[in-house]
Amino acid sequence: MAREDLVIRIAGEAGEGVLITGQMVTQATARAGYYVLTDSVPPAEIKGGYSFFQIRLGEKRLRARGDVVDVLLAFNQEAFDNSIEQLRQGGILIYDSAELSPPESDRYRSYAVPLTDIAKNQVELALAKNMVAVGVVAGLFGLDPEHVRRLLRESKLAKKGEDILNKNLKAVDLGYGFVQENVTERGSLEVRPSKLEGRVVLSGNQAVALGALVAGCRRYAGYPITPATDIMEFLADELPKVGGAVVQAEDEIAAIGMVVGASYAGQKSMTATSGPGVSLMTEMLGLASMAEIPSVVIDCQRAGPSTGMPTRHEQGDLNIAVYGAHGEVQRVVLAPTSVMDCFWTTIDAFNLAEEFQLPAIVLQDTVLAVRTESIPRPDLSKVQLAQRRTFTYREDGPEHYLRYQITPDGVSQMAIPGTAGGAYVATGLEHTQAANTSSDARNHSAMTEKRFLKLDGVLAKAPPAHEYGDPSAEVGFLTWGSTLGAVSEAIDRLAERGIKAHALAPRLVWPLPTHQIDPFLNGKRVVIVPEVNYTGQFAQLLKTHYQNVEFTRLNVYGGQPFAVSGIVEAVAPAAERVPNGTVVASRTEATVS
């Protein structure tokens, strides 16, 4: 009997081909018509160390990576030791018989596959071990091996010569054949494909980069950092094709300086980094705010503080994104919730930065950065681009150009260097409307009010929030970022228990879109705020605006995203006892897989 979804984890040592195995299987399953959602956790070490690539495929849209593993493919002993607890009761263990000998267990079925021996002795190419594994996975899931063969012919392997390509094709066929001959009861692993048309497989980082290209970004400056580097690498290939340029700076401070400088010169500009980089960029972001220069920063959050756990997940940068500066700054902070959302939210960031002449920070996270999903091709006919308000010289215009002229919406005309009559000094010092430095108290008050006035316009242009569940429910989830995926699936499971729930995830998290949150709170008696951090940063931000509302915090902070089951088990007892008062206040810690 076919199932709705399946989860396979490919685990091994970095360098064994775990990543390429997962990527090949992902592409093959997507082409076969499945919804696909993946997660990968590489080691923090430069070489070696435990890593895994997890693939969930199904007949319906998937929103989370899956709580348990149906099939574990272990390349070595360390992979087995680190992943066996996640294998579900009755699951299947596939292991390389040359690398480990797991103990017998009635909790799962195990099959020894001579991955290394097949690669060395039959394919005569030891490095093809991972392609044998791809064939094994294709056989387990009932995939047409022709999908995999076609991918190989289209891959970089085809450029390495016919001999190498043919050996890898042979490796796939041998792995597939081994499963057909030796693995029984494969029917329990079959999932019905949906025969999806017009879909692409993208990672969150790729979606961000594509969104930047569509938004008109033509200058990118960055410094390599996990997990944001993929964005720079993607744009290094694509930006020159549209007349743009990528610069690898000497550090994050130089990178954000180049972004601000390029934007001052009239180019839409962006950088991408992670928490340590944002820490270094805070002073320059203050300059962009004071000088009113559009700048876009993608923060791929990871577990901190300091170097922390570079390849692990956390939503720990909300506070620095909102408040990270000396003085009071004006900025926009957005948070995408899915791979598709990464594309559209990046466009929103450019639009808001350009229209209101301020920095925009996109709080992506590790889960979204490395996740791949099969998504519909973005409908580019729906893209609307905002342009900055620029100065054009007119003979009948004012005698002096007022770069920081006080206007009803706080936005002034910005001259591109070289524009006749548009000379001005962009400075981090306080200034008059004519851009002359000033320490006058009245002027500082007026200019501060001007800059903050722009945030009213940002709220009016706020991208719509994501909602899920039953709007009439008394149990509500207020969340942000990729956590919405696990929350959405938790709502479905709660509904199976007869518990109605409703979720809201604002894509604009600063300035806080109270006009979106107020209607959501109406009628809610339990309001739960799930987030992957210790201190409840979003809950604290909400509390500054809603002092009379009690929010139930739900936090995990082990470097992994929420498990759907963890949310359900933590929330269900409270949700089943919805009081007749206002809302329940408690501190709960969910479990994670």
- Residues 208, 172, single domain; the answer is no
Count of other CB atoms within 10 angstroms of residue 591? 14
Q: Tell me, what's the pLDDT at 587?
A: 39
Claim to verify: residue 324 and residue 268 sit in the same structural domain? yes
Domain contains 398: no
For 425-432, the CB contacts below 8 A with 24+ separation are 426/264, 426/291, 426/293, 427/290, 427/291, 428/286, 428/287, 428/290, 428/291, 429/290, 430/290, 431/404, 432/404
Indicate if 180 and 208 belong to the same structural domain. Answer: no
CA 474, CA 557: separation in Å to the nearest integer? 27
Statement to judge: residues 191 and 224 lie in one domain: no
Let me know: does 319 contact 304? Beta carbons within 8 Å.
no
- Based on the domain organization, do 211 and 188 belong to the same domain? no
Show the domain range for 134: 5-196
Checking if the pLDDT of 230 tops 50, the result is: yes
Last residue of a domain, which of 382, 411, 446? 382
Task: Quote the number of domains for the chain.
Answer: 3
Whether the pLDDT of residue 134 is over 80: the answer is yes
Domain boundary among 167, 196, 225: 196
- Report helix angle 162-182 to 129-140, nearest 10: 40
Same domain, 568 and 546: yes
Average pLDDT over residues 202-223: 98
Task: Kindly report the pTM of this predicted structure.
Answer: 0.93
Reply yes or no on whether the pLDDT at 283 is more than 70: yes
Of residues 202, 274, 284, 272, the one with CA closest to residue 235: 272
Which H or E element spans position 535? none
394 lies in a domain?
no
Task: Report the CATH number that the domain containing residue 472 is assigned in CATH.
Answer: 3.40.50.920
Distance CA 28, CA 134 (A): 10
Look at residue 176 and give its three-state secondary structure. helix
Confidence of residue 159 (pLDDT cuts 50, 70, 90): confident
On whether both 71 and 40 belong to a single domain, the answer is yes
Q: Residue 314 is part of a domain; what is its CATH number?
A: 3.40.50.970
- The tokens describing 360, both together, are 């925009």
The answer as to whether 423 is a domain residue is: no
Residue with the bigger pLDDT between 101 and 191: it is 101
- Rounded average pLDDT over 251-269: 98
Query: What mean pLDDT comes out for the span 160-179?
Result: 92
Pairing of strands 475-478, 526-531: parallel
Share of the chain above pLDDT 90, in %: 78
In terms of average pLDDT, the best of 33-37, 130-134, 251-255, 580-584 is: 251-255
Query: Residue 33's domain is classified under what CATH number?
Result: 3.40.920.10
Same domain flag for 182 and 210: no
205 and 192 co-located in one domain:
no
Based on the fold, state whether residues 171 and 284 are members of the same structural domain.
no
Q: Is residue 24 part of a domain?
A: yes
559: confidence class by pLDDT, cuts 50, 70, 90: very high
Mean pLDDT of 228-243: 97
Question: Based on the domain organization, do 315 and 280 belong to the same domain?
Answer: yes
Q: Is residue 431 part of a domain?
A: no
pLDDT band at 586 (very low <50, low <70, confident <90, very high): very low
Q: Are residues 190 and 320 in the same domain?
A: no
Helix-then-strand count for the chain, H and E: 18, 21
In a domain, 452, yes or no: no
Q: Which of 337, 366, 382 lies at the terminal end of a domain, its last residue?
A: 382
The answer to the question of residue 417 being in a domain is no
Residue 413 domain-assigned? no
Whole-angstrom Cα Rg for the chain: 26
